[in-house]
Amino acid sequence: MTRQDRHYRYPWRADNQVELLVDGENFFPAMLQALAQARRYVLLEFYLFESGRLSQRFIHALCHAAERGVGVYLLLDDFGARRLSASERQRLQRANIHLAWYNPLRYGKWRRNLFRDHRKLLLIDGILGFTGGAGIADEFDTSGKPLGWHEVMVAFRGPVLADWQHLFTENWQRLSDTPLPALPVPDHCHRQSQQARLTINAPGQMGVKRSLLRQLQQAQRRIWIATAYFIPSWKIRRRLRRAARRGVDVRLLLPGPHTDHPAVRHAGRRYYAGLLRQGVRIYEYQPRFIHAKLQLCDDWVSVGSSNIDRWNLRWNLEANLEVEGEPLASQMVALFEQDFAQSAEIHYQDWQVRPWYRRLQERGWGWVDRWLERFSQRS
């Protein structure tokens, strides 16, 4: 282990298989099929879990797994699951599914209510795992929905799965008195084996941010980033600008007119001018809301729950899967190129003559962002 690697909770693991799954029409069927085949246990930790057609399919699959004698452990964020109906919560409990809630909302907790479990992971039998940016909510289900959210998940097998199991176990033991079963050590994979690592953000552990900053500094050919919410720290902005000045192909893929939080989009757009002036290329995705969280620096890929915004990096539990080398890097390049082709590129000269009311929106929501930043730092 190198000196720099000691700053990360989990090490690089060899001999893993990672499969890219784009949009809900592809990853939800794979996840539901994996649930149908579960034999020992299911570990599921999600931020968004909302009542709807998709949640009914997942609850049905989870209940059937429990009926077969599979141990089902469901860890949900209390705020992210606020739209899960009381009847569906009762159905889960009647099926003998073990439930735990992260940071229940309480009056009087003030800023402590801001801390959320934003992770998205499904782990099955020590054999297969899924992670990415999706939630169990109908917006992510693109089957037959032209405006379903654009999202990416990955399915993975191999030794890195043990680290994800350890991460879930730690969180579960803090929040529930129900013990977990003994979890097996995943086998090595020998076909298309890849190096992979789990990186996390948690109180006192900024592995996701630290790893991104390191890759931004080291990249020689390309830095392509997709994020649903773009409120970058000063350090991230500086390293993006420096990379562009040294000739790296730096591109940001951000939401266009379709977004669930227009205020966040306006607040992030106030950084466009400074980045564009230094050679960073900015694309806004047009067909629908892009909710994906992807980072590609040369042949290093990071996929997971973390956006490039200060709120994610300060308040949330986050988890990303990092992968080095082929074939995932090539698949990610193809995906980015496809998405760039469906985006509007923002040019510096055009940006300088944008309407006055756009500037006003950026300033107003930028002020709100700065106020929230100061509020979050209070003890």
Tokens 């050919």 correspond to 221
293 part of the active site: yes
1 C-beta neighbours (distance < 10 Å), count: 8
Residues 278 and 250: beta-carbon distance below 8 Å: no
Which of the residues 23, 77, 120, 163 is marked catalytic? 120
Q: Is 150 a catalytic residue?
A: no
Neighbouring-strand partners of residue 91 = none
Token pair listed for 203: 């109180």
Contact criterion met (CB below 8 Å) for 263 and 368: yes
CA atoms of 8 and 5, how far apart (whole Å): 6
**Catalytic residue of the set 98, 118, 209, 258:** 118
Q: How far apart are CA 322 and CA 302, in angstroms?
A: 4
Which of 312, 322, 271 has its CA nearest to residue 291?
A: 312
Distance CA 260, CA 16 (A): 35
293, 309, 339, 369: the catalytic one is 293
Active-site residue identified among 138, 249, 298, 299: 298
Give yes or no for a contact between 238 and 317, defined as CB atoms under 8 angstroms apart: no
The alpha-helical segments, DSSP class H, found in 78-140 are 86-94
Measured CA to CA in angstroms, residue 209 lies from 206, 214, 216, 256, 318 at distances of 6, 9, 11, 24, 10
User: CA 192, CA 212: separation in Å to the nearest integer?
Assistant: 25
Q: Which residue among the candidates 117, 125, 309, 339 is catalytic per the annotation?
A: 125
* Residue 208 backbone phi and psi in degrees, to 5: -65, -45
Beta strands per DSSP E along 109-169: 116-117, 121-124, 128-132, 152-157
298 in active site: yes
* Among 253, 331, 249, 335, CA closest to 297: 249
Q: Rg for the chain (alpha carbons), in Å?
A: 20
Out of 141, 291, 309, 369, pick the active-site residue. 291
118 labelled catalytic: yes
Q: Which residues are catalytic?
A: 118, 120, 125, 291, 293, 298
